[in-house]
Amino acid sequence: MKSTFFIRKNFLIRSVAPCLLVSVFILAPLGCKRQKEPPAAVNNEIDSVVDTVGTTPDTVYTLSSELYTADPSAHVFNGRLYVYPSHDFESGIPQDDLGSHFNMEDYHVFSMDSVGGTVTDHGLALHLDDVPWAGRQMWAPDAAQKNGEYFLYFPVKDKEDIFRIGVAKSNKPEGPFKPMDKPIEGSYSMDPAVFEDSDGKYYMYFGGIWGGQLQKWSDGEYKGEDKYPADNEPALSPKVALLADDMVSFAEEPKDVVILDENGEPITTGDNDRRFFEAAWVHRYQDKYYLSYSTGDTHKIVYATGDSPYGPFTYKGVILDPVLGWTNHHSIVKYQGKWWLFFHDSSMSGGKTHLRSVKMAELKYLPDGTIQRMNAYVEP
């Protein structure tokens, strides 16, 4: 099916209704009134007052009005922009700290040939029932291509309720994808993100704490209990592994991706504004590697830079201020000469944190290579 991007310009709508609505197929927000200091809680889903000091983007595009989508991974294949999000729906699972209410069970792939133009929903790409080893919760995916073959990487809990990372293959970027019989050996936790370097090597970044179970692992073994470093100790790190030539296995044991502060010391567990929580993503700009990620309970997308895909990475700042809803998850891609930030919020559902919608806005760099901080908060 096809739909059209919804565009929100940066102006205030003053009316009796909370925001002006417009849509091609169903209602979707066009010009919701913004406020610089969002409320401390929206349906009890944001648990602290958040700062919104970033620059407001000129235009924010919404991917789809027909499906709830989240956790977007964007890539350019064959000159066309593809987005691989997770697919939210109302499953009726009560909300808890482990994210049980994020009970997604399939993936759709979207594509477009111009920003702001027609968006194609290519339909069902992979379903939970297609994966023989899967139990529940298909969370944030990613994709890659090599030699004309396309790979969809996805985290899902196995029959023992442990997150593993699976892979499915297709001869088309939109799928449908056929899953492998087993998860990637040595993989665990969630949020796989695959980065292709200029030398043709592919690296997978993964991991997430709390519901992502990273804190339950040690030395590549599942311990089954939460174990976090003390607040003054180095925080848990995302993982990275070089992918083998077959793109469905690791060529090495996963390594820690160390994130340093301005003094060259590892970011600590207690540094909630800067420590890694989930959603690692790597891109390259002007010969620097940029690691970006979510801070989780402080609701920001932040970034660090380094000289190697393995790191270490030095913290630089915030990319995206908190959005409506508890989670914040993103990707960054260059398309048609501009850089774009993909993210999600809960504006389409009126603030329900498990019913989100993917957005995109232009990402801008300053002359020194730092990223201009963005505020895309929309009042419900």
Domain membership of residue 216 (yes or no) is yes
Q: What is the pLDDT of residue 2?
A: 53
Residue 50 domain flag: yes
What DSSP state is assigned to residue 212? Answer: G
The verdict on whether 71 is a catalytic residue reads yes
Among 346, 295, 343, CA closest to 325:
346
Give the DSSP letter string of 159-199: TTS-EEEEEEEESSTT---EEPSSPPTT--SS--EEEE-TT
Query: Pick the catalytic residue: 121, 174, 191, 278?
Result: 278
* Residue 337 CB partners (closer than 8 Å, separation 6+): none
User: Is 325 a member of any domain?
Assistant: yes
Q: Residue 159: which residues within 8 A CB-CB, separation 6 or more? A: 133, 134, 135
Provide φ and ψ at 65, rounded to 5°: -105, 0
List the chain pLDDT tens, one digit each, 380 residues: 555 444 443 322 222 222 322 222 222 332 332 333 333 333 434 444 355 689 999 999 999 999 999 999 999 999 999 999 999 999 999 999 899 999 999 999 999 999 999 999 999 999 999 999 999 999 999 999 999 999 999 999 999 999 999 999 999 999 999 999 999 999 999 999 999 999 999 999 999 999 999 999 999 999 999 999 999 999 999 999 999 999 999 999 999 999 999 999 999 999 999 999 999 999 999 999 999 999 999 999 999 999 999 999 999 999 999 999 999 999 999 999 999 999 999 999 999 999 999 999 999 999 999 999 999 999 88
Residue pair 67/27 in contact by the 8 Å Cβ criterion: no
pTM score of the predicted model: 0.89
Give a yes or no: residue 230 inside a domain.
Answer: yes
- Residue 90 falls inside a structural domain: yes
- How many domains in the chain? 1
Quote the tokens at residue 3: 């739909």
Q: What is d(CA 77, CA 358) in angstroms, rounded to the nearest whole number?
A: 19
309: in domain? yes
Task: Locate 206 and state its tokens.
Answer: 């993964």
- Can you give the residue range of the structural domain that contains 292? 2-363
Q: Is residue 30 domain-resident?
A: yes
Q: Which residues of 84-97 are buried (b: 16+ CB within 10 A; e: fewer)?
A: bbbbbeeeeeebee
Helix, coil or strand: residue 30: coil
Indicate which residue of 71, 88, 174, 321 is catalytic.
Answer: 71
Is 311 within a domain? Answer: yes
Quote the Cα angle for 287-290-294, to 5°: 175
Beta bridge partners of 362: 340
CA separation (Å) from 7 to 10, 64, 213? 10, 11, 37
Among 56, 54, 57, 37, residue whose Cα is nearest residue 46: 37
Q: Looking at residue 213, which CATH number applies to its domain? A: 2.115.10.20
